Amino acid sequence: MIAVLNVRESAYIPASGDSADRKPIPVLTVSGRLDASTVHVLERALMRALSQDTRAVVVDAAEITYISSSGLRVLLAARRQIRERGGDILLCSLPPNVRDVMNMVGFTALFSIFENSDAAKQAAADMY
């Protein structure tokens, strides 16, 4: 049994606002099992997203089937990095088991979490 994690990398471009402000916002759609053996896939995608001049990264967790502390650590590290430039990681569509794990360590009260990707993208656009 091999754990599999996929991260689809796309960009959201807000429809409104000044053209200069309409920077693409990285959107990572994560699916599969997020544990110590697969976390590098998300880590690399986050690093690519953070290397862009962006203040927001949306992480759509709807299809994450499992998360361990390895996944939490990577999300936390990415958030710390983007906070240094006044930005944020916006999580959305958390499955119940992922929300449960985040609750156990108090992260749901600390991360920016949205019900769906539209809400997260809108919040990301509002940051500019």
Q: Which is nearer to other proteins, 31 or 70 (CB)?
A: 70
Q: Which is nearer to other proteins, 23 or 78 (CB)?
A: 78
Site for other proteins in 68-97 (CB under 8 A): 68-70, 72-73, 76, 79-80, 83, 96-97
Q: Which is nearer to other proteins, 12 or 111 (CB)?
A: 111
For residues 57 and 65, what is the distance between their CA atoms, to the nearest angstrom? 21
As measured in angstroms, the least distance from the Cβ of 44 to other proteins is: 16
Contacts of 83 (CB under 8 A, 6+ apart): none
> Could you tell me how far CA 54 lies from the centroid of its own chain?
13
Q: Is 31 in the site for other proteins (CB under 8 A)?
A: no
For residues 36 and 84, what is the distance between their CA atoms, to the nearest angstrom? 26
As measured in angstroms, the least distance from the Cβ of 128 to other proteins is: 22
Contact indicator for 56, 79 with CB cutoff of 8 Å:
no
Nearest to 11 by CA among 26, 21, 23: 26
Q: Which is nearer to other proteins, 53 or 84 (CB)?
A: 84
